[in-house]
Amino acid sequence: MRIALLASITLFLLLIPALPVGATGSVCAVVKIEIQQELALERQGFDARMRIQNGLDTTALTDVGINVTFADRDGNSVLATSDTNNVDALFYINVDSMDGISDVSGTGVVQPASTAEVHWLIVPAQGAGGQLPSGELYFIGATLSYTVGGEVQTVEVTPDSIYVKPLPLLSLDYFLTADVYADDAFTQEIEPPEPFTLGVRIRNNGYGPAYGVSIGSGQPKIVENEQGLLIGFSITGASVNDAPTTVCHEGAQEDEVLRAAMLHKR
């Protein structure tokens, strides 16, 4: 599976010339620009599937509820949740699709002589894969409950095993050229602007590689210009480790390997 993270970079530029030719001084102008970027990478995910077959010709299965359970290699329960803000969970799980049933929280119905199929998307959280390349072993099972003929039935589904690989943990550092040159307001001649570089360095601080890493960038947007300075910015190109590119594809980020991507602006 592939996930994308949105980031916003805010840059403050201190610009000196702010008076017309012939003036005896200068005024500092502060311009704040914002760049929306998207970092994407591949993540390990699992598809859990359950099929419920109602072999009764005239009676529906009602009050259907399914509780997916998680355990480590020693049989100890581990926390899984649909709340992505829960930092204590080792797994995040959500119903991905349902066919032949509309609910699995206790009010579902499987019609007579029909089959229901439910899929869950399971994504490991940071730390679930441990530190070894072989990963960590987990068991995923379920408890199925339903009512038929007025009686409540409960079925324990035999767990299946999965191996969760160590996850990457990426950090990004941004670097901006110290001096940026454009037209000199104190001369008659119009000097062309000189492109400058905004660099981003990606470090993998995790125990597993990050595959398919890429950074997509929008154009700079001026979000604050109190002095009304006549100025604009645009991204003219990009490169990764000095190789030109249109989108910064980083490939596999191994442990502690640095990659540098440069956005060329003017």
126 half-sphere exposure, CB direction, 13 A CA radius: 12
The residue count for the chain = 266
Reference 129, options 3, 11, 34, 44; nearest CA is: 44
Rg value, the chain, Cα: 28
84 half-sphere exposure, CB direction, 13 A CA radius: 3
What is the rounded CA–CA span in Å between residue 160 and residue 264? 50
Instruction: Report the pLDDT averaged over residues 205-224.
Output: 86
38 half-sphere exposure, CB direction, 13 A CA radius: 8
Task: Out of 6-20, 112-126, 238-252, give the one with best mean pLDDT.
Answer: 112-126
249 pLDDT band, cuts 50/70/90, is low
What is the rounded CA–CA span in Å between residue 175 and residue 248? 16
pLDDT of res. 220: 82
**Which of residues 44 and 10 earns the better pLDDT score?**
44
Positive or negative CA dihedral for 14, 20, 21, 27? negative
pLDDT in tens, 44-72: 999 999 999 999 999 999 999 999 999 99
pLDDT of res. 107: 96
> 234: exposed, middle or buried (C-beta count within 10 Å: 0-12, 13-18, 19+)?
exposed
Reference 80, options 43, 46, 131; nearest CA is: 46
Q: Delimit the domains of the chain by residue range.
A: 2-42+168-265, 46-164
As a CATH number, domain 46-164 is: 2.60.40
Q: Is it the case that residue 186 has pLDDT exceeding 70?
A: yes
Q: Is it the case that residue 21 has pLDDT exceeding 70?
A: no
105 pLDDT band, cuts 50/70/90, is very high
Q: Is it the case that residue 244 has pLDDT exceeding 60?
A: yes
Has this prediction a pTM greater than 0.85?
A: no
Across the chain, mean pLDDT equals 83
Q: How many of the other CB atoms lie within 10 Å of CB of 197?
A: 14
Reference 223, options 36, 18, 28, 26; nearest CA is: 36
pLDDT of res. 14: 53
pLDDT of res. 255: 43
